[in-house]
Chain A
Amino acid sequence: MSVVGVEGEERHDFSQQESASIRRRSLALLKSLLQPLWAQVALTIVVVVTSTAAQVAGPALIAYGIDSGLPALLRQDWMPLGSAVVAYLITGVVGAVLIAWFTVLSARISQTILLDLRKRVFQQTQRLSLEFHENYTSGRIISRQTSDLDSIRELLDSGITELVQGGLYMVFIAIALFSLDWVSGLVLFASLIPLAFLTRWFQVRSQKLFRRSRVASARLIVQFVETMTGIRAVKAFRKEKRNEKEFGGFVEDYRDINNRVIQLFGYFDPGLILIGNVTLAVVLLVGGFRVADGGLAIGALLATLLYTRQFFGPAQDMAMFYNSYQSAAAALEKISGVLEERLSVPDPTRPIDLWQAKGSISFEGVEFGYKAGRVILPAFDLQIPVGQTIAMVGSTGAGKSTLAKLISRFYDPTAGTVRLDGVDLRRLHPNDLRRAIVMVTQESYLFSGSVADNIALGNPEASREEIIAAAHAVGAHGFVTALPNGYDTDVNKRGGRLSAGQRQLISFARAFLADPVVLILDEATSSLDIPSERLVQKGLRTLLADRTAIIIAHRLSTVAIADRVLVMEHGCIVEDGSPRDLIAGTGRFSRLHAAWRDSLV
């Protein structure tokens, strides 16, 4: 099994090699995030190093004050004590001010990183193909962008500061201790050995658990989002109790894993304190003997004790934030997986511009299957000249939508080429492609915002007049003006109750506004009532007059405005001709048409 991209994402038992490759990819991501910020990072490091050094000076100054200041004072010499106190004040103030500055600096850096990461994941999400989205499910991609980023944010918020500062603190203290009394320094050094073992133990154990906790939280989110988006069906079919049980299970899994993680930490933290306190006792013992026979000053002993205590102080903080580091690392693994995911419909590296598309489409030896070996559309050729209106007919699953999605480049063909005005779609500049070809599907998703905003999605530069004109053209103007705030009505507040038909009209207006040379309508009128459909078709007659159009519809009324009909069956085009010829013939279409005529009243 591979771990490239999002594959194997739900596993947590990686082999060493896999672990290494995942870690490499996380680190590479981290590096690329930090690189543009190197100057800020450098400044921040200088600030934090200086402030830490200032802070660490404290106990040494106390030692000096006691050991030199006290005897000097007895000789009426104020200098040593005075300088110790002044130095303490200065280092204290400098240290504190710099740390405060450091806090702001590091927040700037971490927020910039986070912003960068958010944008990258968002953009990647938009670029990934529909195929990816269909397999990965929206809940998981949402959890990548919410809870996973949350845990990275948590680390960046407080963790990095503590981690860097604490690490430096420990290094400086070790240095200070060595220079003050090398014997105590050695003791401290010896204590690092059990510390290293303990940390390693914790790291290995927790990493696995953190990975599992990411997976568990993603499951929780999937279920949550699904319930809230499908709340009507949940209620109507009394799924609440069953959902509660299911969700309760996910909550319990997540709780259990979380609990195990922090229990692990519950051994780690006291372990640290134990090591610290034992070290303290040893330093005291070793120092005490030397003080007793005059080898060490009392003040120096005090300083070594203070340093030892302080050395393990940040160690505890760091342990705490190591925790959030581990959790963030697990999240980063998942995110870097999504970012690594290869685009199956990639943007061209050297795009061809097509400023003024005319709208001829050609399929040359095109074959398509979602998965290798399962061919949906066997190899075929098809020419659609400029300005032709094509109706595609055939039963559900015959491959009509798939063919349409190849034209709008939701998918790329497995073999052969689809061209617009002779240019391979794969080489066409994405902006030109999207401007030239627009597809309206039966799922008419509305985004939160006003009705006008939603129509303007077709052309963000459109003026209010143009938006209204588009709504007029598809017959949506009437109901929109009847809404409480007309075009400014927030669909979020009323979105739940704009009827499916109304939503379809809005997405129709969107397409109208986009004004593409090739328009694909995939069941775009299925929820309209007959008068609305009539209006839409009237609008279409003018709209389609000078552009290429592919219309997929079950209602054969659409055929009325078509120049050409394609009948599809099992992925193949079985009939192709003008509507009149086909109706006159004896093929499938003439049968369908006859049946449809009978159904009219």
Chain B
Amino acid sequence: MSSVDKTDTSPKRPGTYASILRMYPYAKPAMPRIYLGMVSAMLAALVALAIPQVLRALVDGPLKDGDSSQIWWPVGIVLGLGVLEAVMIGLRRWLVLTPGTHIEARMRNGLYAHLQGLPVAFHDRWPSGQLLSRAVSDLGLIRRWFSFGIVLLVINTLTILVGFVFLLNINWMLGLVFVVCSTPLWIYGYVFESKYSSVARRSQDLVGDLATTVEESVHGIRVLKAFGRGPQALKNFSLQAEFLRGIEIEKAKAIAGIWLWLLLVPDVTFALSLLGGVLLAAAGQITVGGLVAFFATAIVLRFPVESIGFLLSMTYDTRNAADRFFEVMDSINTITDPDAPKTIEKPAGRLAFRDMHFRYPDAPQRYPDLLNGIDLELEPGETMAVVGLTGSGKSTLTALTSRLYDVTGGAILLDGVDIRDLRLRELRRHIAMAFEDATLFSASVRDNVLLGRPEAGDADLADALRIAQADFVYDLPQGVDTRVGEEGLSLSGGQRQRLALARAVAAKPSVLVLDDPLSALDVDTEALVEEALRRVLASTTTLIVAHRPSTVMLADRVALLEAGRITAIGTHSQLLGTSEHYRFVISSLDDEREREAREVEA
């Protein structure tokens, strides 16, 4: 369904090394152990390379002479070296593994914190499946790379180089054959990056898109079921998954390419070395022991050589994962605490909009600002209803008060202080909101309601629940301690809305912002809620978005939002008398009269 092409947003991709280096701050605390791990891995490799040297001495000495009594010593040394290798490898693992998991955890916490800080506009733009795949699979890749990829890559390369020295040392001519023959590998290593890396990146992005589709299919399950569109959703998903499969096979082909070289080159080299070795031995240039040592050393190098393939692909995967991680981390948080924050000692709750403008960043130039110069002032304790047509910007207006978005012109003042001069935490403590989509979290009813004031007690909880007419919670299996499911799915829309209202009330803010808070309630409940709300509203400044006359009745004054401006302010009856548009928006009496007229006719 969606295809987020994040690759194109950065015109120039940083190099692999640069990408990986960016993770250094997260890896820094782990680096000493990783370095030590490299040292022990190197020791293990050296020990493994030393074993053939003992073999050479054994073959050229006791075995040639047929002296059985001299065999014990060299075998003892081989055994000792073998044990040492195992110990060194154990040490390497012990040193490196735990820090790798810490790097992963640090990056994951960092990403989560950053995402929570990023403005709502960012989340509007980014499907959460893409974020999820970054937070889970990509960071898993990074952990594995730090846990052994980086160590093995460095050590195996070093081992190969050191191995070359050993081989040259055993016999320089044979050694040279080996070194020369392996050059294609180094060349292919470079070519491989271009073949593999971009395909791998596409696959990672597709995995994120797939996660988005999965997420939507789960969150939108009711709609899909209601229209019987499950099969269609499956078809869309299948297309995406099949596309991913194609990319994955392309990736496998790139890997097969490097595998071919990694296996072919050593085999050819071995064959040539065999030819050369036996020739040299025949000419007396090398001892049989030397030949044995040569092949024993060469075989030790086989694993490091073969491993280069998957270590490289792993490194490129990691680099892509790091790129994807930093794409999110590089998103600048535009809504932050001010450098020199002011504070409101005694909030009275005077909320003022001064020539306030707002437009969404991706709105085309030809459109006027969605909110085009709002001037509105709420006295402390006053309840102001905002009325306007669907899509006139009422919800946006409410979201601006707690800086979910920032105004693009003018200012919003709370008790005379520009809200951008307040710390976000303070601002959001003063202003509490109830949204039209009532989001509940997987937590108890109590935690959900006391979200804005966790320190509040049972009395406050009960009070808030009573005002919102949410007594139904006491009938839930564990009362207020019942966990309401994710998004409160197991509660009805009306129940969720009441909990969201209770949440706003329980926060005891100086300004309440309610976005059509009673839309899902039935008439009886609505009347009861309104009755109870009046008490709260009497002492709290309230901005309330209203669609119904009954909600408007709660307000002291009404502001009419029309074409991005407040075109009329007054009491309900004043506006009914003076504003044509207001009558159009709020009154259903016309219908009633019409209907009654018809009924009379009939």
Chain B residues with CB below 8 A from A278, complex form? 79, 82-83
- Taking CB atoms, residues of chain B closer than 8 Å to A137 are 442, 485-486, 489
Q: Are B68 and A595 in contact (CB under 8 A)?
A: no
Known contacts A58-B267, A85-B271, A270-B93; A112 and B2 CB within 8 A of each other: no
Decide: A501 and B252 in contact? CB cutoff 8 A.
no
A227 to chain B, nearest CB (A): 7
Determine whether the beta carbon of A510 is less than 8 Å from that of B227. yes
- List residues of chain A with CB within 8 A of the CB of B288: 66, 70, 298
Distance A238 CA – B423 CA, assembled complex (angstroms)? 11
Residue A24 lies at the interface, judged by CB distance under 8 Å to chain B: no
Verify if B419 is at the interface (C-beta below 8 Å from A): no
In the bound complex, CA of A443 to CA of B75 (Å): 76
CA distance A122 to B233 in the complex (A): 9
Please tell me if the beta carbons of B229 and A309 are within 8 angstroms of each other in the complex.
no
- Main SS of the interface on chain B? helix
Chain A: CB-nearest residue to B261 = A96
Q: Is B71 engaged at the interface, CB distance under 8 Å to the other chain?
A: yes
The smallest beta-carbon distance between B281 and chain A, in angstroms, is: 6
Check: B161 CB closer than 8 A to any chain A CB: no
Return chain A residues, CB-CB under 8 Å to B227.
434, 438, 457-458, 510, 514
Q: Does B226 contact A (CB under 8 A)?
A: yes
Beyond A247-B109, A560-B595, whether A292 also contacts B67 by CB under 8 A is yes
0/1 string, A127-169, CB within 8 A of B gives 1: 1001001110111011001110010000001100000000000
Contacts of A69 in B (CB 8 A): 278
Interface presence of A507 (CB below 8 A): yes
Tell me whether B113 is interfacial, beta carbon within 8 Å.
Answer: yes
Q: Are B260 and A439 in contact (CB under 8 A)?
A: no
* A500→B86 contact, CB < 8 A: no
**Candidates B271, B295, B522; contact of A395 at CB < 8 Å:** B522
Q: Does A350 contact B (CB under 8 A)?
A: no
* B14 sits at the interface (CB 8 A): no
B105:A529 contact, CB within 8 angstroms: no
B380 within 8 A of A: no
For the complex formed, measure the closest distance between the CB of B86 and the CB atoms of chain A, giving whole angstroms.
4
Whether, in the assembled complex, B374 has its beta carbon less than 8 Å from a beta carbon of chain A, the answer is no
Give the complex CA separation of A446 and B399 in angstroms.
20
Q: Within 8 Å CB of B234, what residues of A?
A: 119, 122-123, 126
Using A146-B214, A232-B439 as known contacts, say yes or no to A265 and B228 having CB atoms under 8 A apart: no
Query: Which of these binds chain A: B5-13, B22-30, B126-134, B340-348?
Result: B126-134
Chain B hits for A123, CB < 8 A: 230, 234
Task: Please pick, from A73, A125, A523, the residue contacting B278 in the complex, using a CB distance under 8 A.
Answer: A73
* B120/A235 in contact, CB under 8 A: yes
Instruction: Provide the B296-337 mask, 1 if CB < 8 A to any CB of A, else 0.
Output: 100110110000001000000000000000000000000000
Q: Report chain A residues within 8 Å CB of B2.
A: 448-449, 492
The CA of A395 and the CA of B528, in the complex, are separated in Å by 12
Main secondary structure of the interface of A (DSSP, over half): helix
User: How long is the Cα–Cα vector from A592 to B522 in the complex, in angstroms?
Assistant: 10
Among residues of B, the one whose C-beta sits closest to the C-beta of A54 is B267
Stretch at the interface among B164-172, B191-199, B362-370: B362-370
Are A298 and B267 CB-contacts (below 8 A) given A293-B68, A554-B526? no
Give chain B residues whose Cβ lies under 8 Å from the Cβ of A501: 390-391, 547
Q: Give the Cβ gap from A545 to chain B, nearest Cβ, in Å.
A: 16
Residue A263 interfacial (CB < 8 Å): yes
Interface residues on A, range: 35 or more
A433 touches B228 (CB 8 A): yes
**A222 B442 Cβ-Cβ under 8 A:** yes
Is B189 interfacial (CB 8 A cutoff)? Answer: no
CA distance A280 to B272 in the complex (A): 26
**Chain A residue, CB-CB nearest to B485:** A137
Q: Which of A99, A100, A243 is most buried by chain B, counting CB atoms within 10 A of its CB?
A: A100
B267 and A150 contact, CB distance less than 8 A: no
- Would you give the shortest CB distance from B298 to chain A, in whole angstroms? 9
| In the complex, chain B residues whose CB is within 8 Å of the CB of A435 | 228
Asked if A41 is at the interface of the complex by the 8 Å CB criterion, the answer is no
Q: Are A449 and B249 within 8 A (Cβ)?
A: no
Given A134-B485, A270-B93, is A235 in contact with B428 using a C-beta cutoff of 8 Å? yes
Tell yes or no: A596 within 8 A of B by CB: yes
Q: Is the CB of A236 within 8 A of B432?
A: yes
Report B-chain residues with C-beta under 8 Å of the C-beta of A106: 252
B58, CB-defined interface residue at 8 Å: yes
- How many angstroms between the C-alpha atoms of A482 and B524 in the bound complex? 37
Docked CA distance A599–B527 (Å): 10
With beta carbons under 8 angstroms apart, the residue of B55, B140, B279 that contacts A305 is B55
A48 CB → nearest B CB, Å: 13
Apart from A92-B263, A229-B487, A410-B226: 19 A-B pairs, beta carbons within 8 A: A96-B259, A97-B260, A107-B249, A111-B252, A118-B241, A122-B233, A122-B238, A138-B486, A222-B486, A228-B128, A231-B123, A255-B104, A274-B83, A441-B226, A458-B227, A492-B127, A493-B125, A494-B362, A599-B553
Can you give 27 contacting A-B residue pairs, CB < 8 Å?
Answer: A92-B270, A99-B260, A101-B256, A122-B214, A125-B218, A126-B234, A130-B225, A147-B137, A224-B136, A233-B435, A237-B503, A247-B112, A248-B109, A277-B85, A280-B78, A298-B63, A301-B59, A306-B296, A397-B495, A434-B229, A440-B226, A445-B219, A449-B1, A460-B232, A497-B124, A502-B391, A599-B550
3 tightest A-B contacts by CB? A434-B228, A277-B82, A92-B267
